[in-house]
């Protein structure tokens, strides 16, 4: 099969030359680029599912090696930060994925990609490399784009919602309650607006490509405002 010359640069950046280039193409293909429901297996969704697990395993292995004396709780919090949607979206940009995405039938329409889509595609590419070359190929890819992040991680390690709940209880406030106030955008690129209410003190608001991320941003905003979290 003739190789796609446009993907050669991406393979070089990833540090992996695919034996089955179709895996990489599928990892870069959003459901909106597929005309028929019967072709949905040709999108990145299943590879994203696989890549998510591979990424978690590799990062857990790297953390265990790099922080031999850290307690399990700290390792878990570091892992959560490193595999978060926010981090994966940044890595997708470092990999150069946005210029190769297939969304809505056109690579040009990839400019519509949200951070949520970029995070999913990043994991899908990891899944594709794993499927093509095994763990021996996937680990170097993850190390290439995560090693510096793992070794130089700054900022709070606690999950924002957990931290906010504990902060509220320490100060005698009620348990934070999250409410979705608005959802906008198309199905492939939604935007959620969420408010967090805390009985006894001022709440906050946040937005994101998923309800979970919007809740996190709302909680993080309150923690920063109250001086619990400092900017990273």
Q: What is the CATH number of the domain that holds 183?
A: 3.30.160.20
Calculate the CA 71 to chain-centre distance.
24
106 and 186 housed in the same domain: no
Would the CA dihedral through 205, 110, 186, 122 be positive or negative?
negative
Question: pLDDT tens-digit profile of 27-38?
Answer: 999 877 766 544
Q: Is residue 81, in this structure, part of any structural domain at all?
A: yes
175 and 87 housed in the same domain: no
56 and 147 housed in the same domain: yes
Question: pLDDT tens-digit profile of 138-184?
Answer: 999 999 999 999 998 876 666 788 889 989 999 999 999 999 999 99
Neighbours of 121 (CB within 10 A): 30
Of the candidates 104, 127, 151, which is a domain's last residue? Answer: 151
113 and 172 housed in the same domain: no
Give the structural domain span for 38: 5-151
From CA 204, how far away is CA 220, in angstroms rounded? 9
95 and 129 housed in the same domain: yes
67 and 94 housed in the same domain: yes
Dihedral of the alpha carbons of 183, 185, 187, 190, in degrees to the nearest 10: -60
Of the candidates 111, 132, 151, which is a domain's last residue? Answer: 151
pLDDT of residue 40: 52
Query: pLDDT at residue 105 above 70?
Result: no
11 and 96 housed in the same domain: yes
Q: Is residue 230, in this structure, part of any structural domain at all?
A: no
From CA 59, how far away is CA 83, in angstroms rounded? 8
Q: Is residue 124, in this structure, part of any structural domain at all?
A: yes
pLDDT of residue 37: 47
Please tell me the total count of domains within the chain.
2
123 and 179 housed in the same domain: no
The residue annotated as part of the active site, out of 52, 132, 193, 213, is 52
From CA 126, how far away is CA 124, in angstroms rounded? 5
Is 52 annotated as catalytic?
A: yes
Query: pLDDT at residue 220 above 80?
Result: yes
20 and 50 housed in the same domain: yes
The residue annotated as part of the active site, out of 21, 48, 120, 123, is 123
From CA 39, how far away is CA 59, in angstroms rounded? 32
Q: What is the CATH number of the domain that holds 46?
A: 1.10.1520.10
182 and 145 housed in the same domain: no
Q: Is residue 174, in this structure, part of any structural domain at all?
A: yes
109 and 134 housed in the same domain: yes
Is 123 annotated as catalytic?
A: yes
Would the CA dihedral through 108, 109, 111, 113 be positive or negative?
negative
Structure tokens that stand for 108 in this block: 């040009």
129 and 171 housed in the same domain: no
| 201-208/191-198 β-pairing | antiparallel
Q: Is residue 57, in this structure, part of any structural domain at all?
A: yes
Non-local CB neighbours of 179 within 8 Å, separated by 6+ positions: 194, 195, 196, 197
Q: Is residue 232, in this structure, part of any structural domain at all?
A: no
Strands of the sheet with 191-198, listed across from one edge = 177-184, 191-198, 201-208
Global pTM reads 0.68
Question: pLDDT tens-digit profile of 28-85?
Answer: 998 777 665 445 558 899 999 999 999 999 999 999 999 888 778 778 888 988 998 8
Structure tokens that stand for 54 in this block: 């591979």
From CA 92, how far away is CA 171, in angstroms rounded? 40
């Amino acid at each position: 099969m003739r190789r796609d010359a446009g993907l050669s640069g991406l393979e070089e950046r990833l540090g992996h030359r695919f034996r089955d280039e179709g895996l990489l193409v599928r990892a870069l293909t959003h459901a909106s680029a597929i005309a028929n429901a019967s072709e949905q297996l040709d999108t990145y969704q299943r590879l994203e599912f696989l890549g998510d697990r591979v990424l978690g395993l590799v990062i857990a292995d790297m953390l265990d090696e790099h922080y031999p004396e850290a307690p399990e709780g700290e390792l878990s919090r570091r892992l959560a930060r490193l595999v978060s949607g926010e981090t994966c979206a940044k890595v997708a940009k470092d990999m150069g994925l946005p210029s190769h995405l297939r969304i809505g039938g056109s690579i040009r329409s990839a400019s519509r990609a949200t951070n949520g889509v970029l995070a999913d595609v990043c994991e899908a590419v990891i899944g594709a490399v794993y499927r093509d070359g095994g763990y021996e190929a996937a680990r170097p890819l993850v190390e290439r784009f995560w090693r510096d992040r793992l070794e130089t991680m700054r900022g709070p390690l606690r999950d924002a919602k957990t931290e906010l709940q504990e902060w509220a209880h320490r100060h005698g406030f009620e348990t934070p309650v999250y409410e979705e106030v608005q959802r906008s955008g198309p199905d492939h690129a939604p935007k959620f607006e969420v408010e967090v209410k805390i009985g006894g003190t001022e709440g906050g608001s946040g937005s994101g490509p998923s309800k979970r991320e919007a809740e996190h941003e709302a909680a993080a905003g309150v923690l920063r405002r109250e001086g619990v979290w400092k900017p990273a």
